[in-house]
Amino acid sequence: MTHPSETLPTIRLKPKANARAIRHGSPWVFDNELVVDRRTKTLTPGAIARLEDAERNFLALVGVNPNSRIFARVLDRDPDMEFDEAWFAARVKHALQHRETLYSEPFYRLIHAESDGLPGVIVDRFGDTLVIQPNAAWADTLIAPLVAALKSVTGATTIVMNGTGRARGLEGLDEKIEIMEGAVDGVIPVSMNGATYMADLMGGQKTGLFFDQRDNHAYAQKLVRGKRVLDVFSHVGGFGLAALAADAASITCVDSSAAALELAEQGAAAMGVSDKFTARKGDAFDTMAALLAEGEKFDVVICDPPAFAPSKPALEKGLRAYERIAKMAAALVDDGGYLGLCSCSHAADLEKFRNSCNRGIGRATRSAQLIHTGFAGADHPLMPQLAESGYLKGLFYRMMP
C-alpha cells in the first residue's frame, strides 16, 4: 500500500503550537494543537497525512485519528515515503538487532511502540510466536504489511493480533483477538531468569506475559535465597517464580485471577518446585489484611499492582492506593527483610510514586532504607521525547528493626 505525497491530505499546526518539538523528535500531535476544520474532522481514522507547521512547511508524514486526543502520530520525515512491507521490515530489523544483542533466547518485547519507530504498536515475542497489539488506528489500517514484515524478518510461524485493552478504547477502536498466521496450541512455556512462566496468548492479560519486569525480577533474586517470599498481584507468578528459581524457601502468590494463579502453579510444577508454592486467590488488599490478622510475616514482600494511575485525572486516587499498599505490605515484612514496590502508571512519575511509598511505610510505623530503584528492561527502550515510554518503576527497601 503506497501513499504518494502529492495525493495525501494535509493537516496543519496552529500558529502557537510547538512545531520545534516535532522537529526535535516529539512523536505526538494533540487535537488542540491543530487547525481542525470540516475536512480535517472527516479524515478516516488510520489515514496517512502530511503534517505542516503554521507557515506550511512540511514536518512529517503522520497517521491520523480524528477520534483520538492524539490526533496525529509521526511515522516518517521523508515526504515521499511509502508505508509498505519494506518500510515496516526496516523498522523491525533495527529492533530485532537490538533484542538479539541482549538476549540468547527469543523471549522479549520486540517492538516498543514509539521508541522503536512504530507509534502505538507493541509486539512481544514468544519463540516462533509473535503477539501484536496495534493500539493506534494507522497500525490497524496497515496491519497486513506489518504482519508480512514481521513474518519475513523474524521467521515467526504464528502471529496473533491482540486488539484489546484501554489504549484501543482511547483510539475508538474495536476490541478483537485474531490469529493472523499459524495456530496457537495451548499455553507457551517461557524461560526467563531461570524461571519457567506459562504464557496464555489468547486469554491472558495483554500479550500473555510481562517482559518489562525481567531486570527487577533479577534484582529481587539477589534477596530471596532461603527466604519466605510473598508476591502480591502476582499475575502468572512474576516475582514469585523468579524467587523459586533463586532458591527461595517458599513463595505465596496472591492474585484475584484464578486463571493467572493456575498458570503460576503450572510454572512451579514445570520447575519442579511445587512443594514450595502456595496460591491465595482474592483481592490483594483483603488478602494482605487477612495475613496481618493471622500474624503472618515474610522475609521478602513484593507488590506489583496494575496501573492505579493510568491518566492524570486518576493520579491522586492512584497515589493514595500506592500509599495504602506500601503501608500494608511494610507491616508484613520481618525486621531486616526486604520490600519491593512497583508501579506501571506513567502518570505517576518516580518522585510522586516514591513519596507515596515512603508515606505508606511511615504510616505503618516502620523505617526503611531505599536500596535500589529499577526500571523496565532494555527491550522496553525509553524514547527521550516521550516520558510515557518510561512508565515502569520498582523501589526496593530493606526494613529496619
Dump pLDDT digits (tens) for 286-304: 999 999 999 999 999 999 9
Lowest mean pLDDT across 24-38, 82-96, 230-244, 352-366: 24-38
Amino acid at 143: I
pLDDT at residue number 268: 98
- What structural domains and CATH numbers belong to the chain? 5-76 (2.30.130.10), 85-181 (3.30.750.80), 188-399 (3.40.50.150)
Grid coordinates of 116 = 522503536
Confidence category of residue 390, pLDDT binned at 50, 70, 90: confident
pLDDT at residue number 33: 96
Mean pLDDT across the chain: 95
Is the per-residue pLDDT at 2 higher than 80?
no
Residue 366 burial (CB count, 10 A)? 20
Confidence category of residue 57, pLDDT binned at 50, 70, 90: very high
pLDDT at residue number 6: 64
Is the per-residue pLDDT at 3 higher than 60?
no
Is the per-residue pLDDT at 1 higher than 60?
no
Is the CB of residue 189 less than 8 Å from the CB of residue 127? no
Is the CB of residue 180 less than 8 Å from the CB of residue 147? yes
DSSP H helices in 62-191: 85-102, 137-141, 143-154, 166-170
pLDDT at residue number 206: 72
pLDDT at residue number 165: 85
The model's pTM is: 0.94
Dump pLDDT digits (tens) for 136-167: 999 999 999 999 999 999 999 999 999 888 88
pLDDT at residue number 38: 84
Whole-number Å distance between alpha carbons of 205 and 382: 23
Whole-number Å distance between alpha carbons of 283 and 298: 19
Whole-number Å distance between alpha carbons of 114 and 96: 15
Is the CB of residue 356 less than 8 Å from the CB of residue 323? yes
Is the per-residue pLDDT at 334 higher than 60?
yes
